[in-house]
Amino acid sequence: MFRGLGIVLIVSAFFTAGLSAAEYEVGQKNKAFTVESLKIKAGDIVSFPNYDSFFHNVYSLSPVKIFDLGSYPKGQTQKVKFEKPGKVTVQCAIHPDMKMTIDVQ
């Protein structure tokens, strides 16, 4: 279900009672995303916790899901629900080298 060359950290992937939506995690650690790519289903939720001691600002300009979580420090997280299928490129506004892809199916 998941593919990625790096370390794939799925801390939580659970189903809430009565709903088929799953929740996944894409952390920010050592100035990189903890997952390079992720396959999810439409309606699933991804949380983006910051594990670094500095700020990150996760965002996407992909038409399938445009969002900007703003900058937040270590220990904080933000969640995004992906309603529509398609490819979403996720980046960090503070660190241009940070990039990962979510394939919503």
Bridge-partner residues for 79, per DSSP?
47
Taking the complex as a whole, how short is the minimal distance between the CB of residue 52 and Cu ion, in angstroms?
7
Is there binding between residue 56 and Cu ion (CB under 5 A)?
A: yes
The answer to whether the CB of 72 falls within 8 A of the CB of 79 is: no
The answer to whether the CB of 27 falls within 8 A of the CB of 58 is: no
- Neighbouring CB atoms inside 10 A of 69's CB total 20
Taking the complex as a whole, how short is the minimal distance between the CB of residue 17 and Cu ion, in angstroms?
34
- Identify residues 68-97 at the interface with Cu ion (CB under 5 A): 92, 94-95
Count of residues interacting with Cu ion (CB under 5 A): 5
Q: Which span (9-17, 34-42, 51-59, 68-76) binds Cu ion, by CB under 5 A?
A: 51-59
Taking the complex as a whole, how short is the minimal distance between the CB of residue 103 and Cu ion, in angstroms?
22
79 phi/psi in degrees, rounded to 5: -115, 145
Amino acid sitting at position 85: P
Q: Which residue is nearest to Cu ion (CB)?
A: 92
27 phi/psi in degrees, rounded to 5: -85, 165
Is there binding between residue 100 and Cu ion (CB under 5 A)?
A: no
Binding site for Cu ion (CB under 5 A): 56, 92, 94-95, 98
